[in-house]
Amino acid sequence: MTPGLLLTFDDRNMLHWEKQIPLFEKYDAHVTFFIDHFDELTTEQLEALQKLRNAGHAIGCHGLKHRNAAEYSEEYSIEKYISDEIAPAIESMNKMGFFPTSFAYPYSKRNEKTDNELLKYFRHLRCGSPVKGEIVKTERYFVKIEDVHKKGRLDGASFHPKSKIDELVSQAKKAIDRISKNGELLVLYAHDIRNESEDGPKHFITIDALEEILLYSKINHIKLYSFDELP
Ligand SMILES: [Zn+2]
């Protein structure tokens, strides 16, 4: 493997994500989309996911009802969390022809028990946190390439820049310099992808900010991997 960036997008913004298929293709980028409420998707939303998958992206699991894994398993039990939230989510994905290899924690809420249990169902889990200080100095966002196969959970940085000169974009570029030098992988997570002027959920990355990162990665020979492409 070469050093790489794992860009991930959560929830159900597939009608906007779908529009960026040509942009990802332009930079040979594969990314991962984590979907919740799979059983309630419309035909249009399912078709968007099929197009994204056919373009080489991974479709991961984000729970059936977007439940807080730590809270739900502590309030009831880990078994009930799995049977209410995970098994039916995987089942409804399978029914539609999707076979997720990865899972993203809603609200990034987890504990050791949920990690251990979920790793029986998924090869990798994604958690994360908002950036405090600098991405490049936050060790938990980075993993050595040679360690990724034995690391079940990868923690990412919340990444919602609003322009290509956003401070977060400069931070991500420094982090890309680091993975290139150290032979590492970096995980970033976002939600919607759209322009400032468009309506949508609160958490989004603008299209120009996304392109700036894809371009910078390409110039620096950083591969954009989907979770399905990890060992
Ligand atoms: Zn979510």
Q: What are the structural domains, with CATH classification, of the chain?
A: 4-229 (3.20.20.370)
Q: Find the 221 Cα to ligand 1 centroid distance in Å.
A: 30
Question: Quick one: tokens of 104?
Answer: 């993203």
**How many residues does the structure list for the chain?**
231
Q: Find the 181 Cα to ligand 1 centroid distance in Å.
A: 32
Q: Find the 118 Cα to ligand 1 centroid distance in Å.
A: 17
The residues placing their C-beta within 5 Å of ligand 1, an ion, are 10-11, 106
Closest C-alpha to 86, from 119, 44, 128, 49: 119
pLDDT value, residue 143: 97
Give 69-113 pLDDT, tens digit per residue. 999 999 999 999 999 999 999 999 999 999 999 999 999 999 999
User: Are the C-beta atoms of 31 and 211 separated by less than 8 Å?
Assistant: no
Q: Find the 62 Cα to ligand 1 centroid distance in Å.
A: 7
Q: Find the 200 Cα to ligand 1 centroid distance in Å.
A: 14
Give 18-71 pLDDT, tens digit per residue. 999 999 999 999 999 999 999 999 999 999 999 999 999 999 999 999 999 999
Question: Quick one: tokens of 214?
Answer: 């894809």
Q: Find the 220 Cα to ligand 1 centroid distance in Å.
A: 30
Q: Find the 11 Cα to ligand 1 centroid distance in Å.
A: 5
Label each residue of the chain as H, E or C: CCCEEEEEEECCCHHHHHHHHHHHHHCCCCCEEEECCHHHCCHHHHHHHHHHHHCCCEEEECCCCCCCHHHHHHHCCHHHHHHHHHHHHHHHHHHCCCCCCEEECHHHCCCHHHHHHHCCCCCEEEEEECCCCCHHHCHHHEEEHHHHHHCCEEEEEECCCCCCCCHHHHHHHHHHHHHHHHCEEEEEEECEECCCCCCCCCCEECHHHHHHHHHHHHHCCCEECCHHHCC
Q: Find the 25 Cα to ligand 1 centroid distance in Å.
A: 25
If one counts every other C-beta atom within 10 angstroms of the C-beta of residue 150, the result is 8
pLDDT value, residue 144: 97
Q: Find the 174 Cα to ligand 1 centroid distance in Å.
A: 27
Give 122-180 pLDDT, tens digit per residue. 999 999 999 999 999 999 999 999 999 999 999 999 999 999 999 999 999 999 999 99
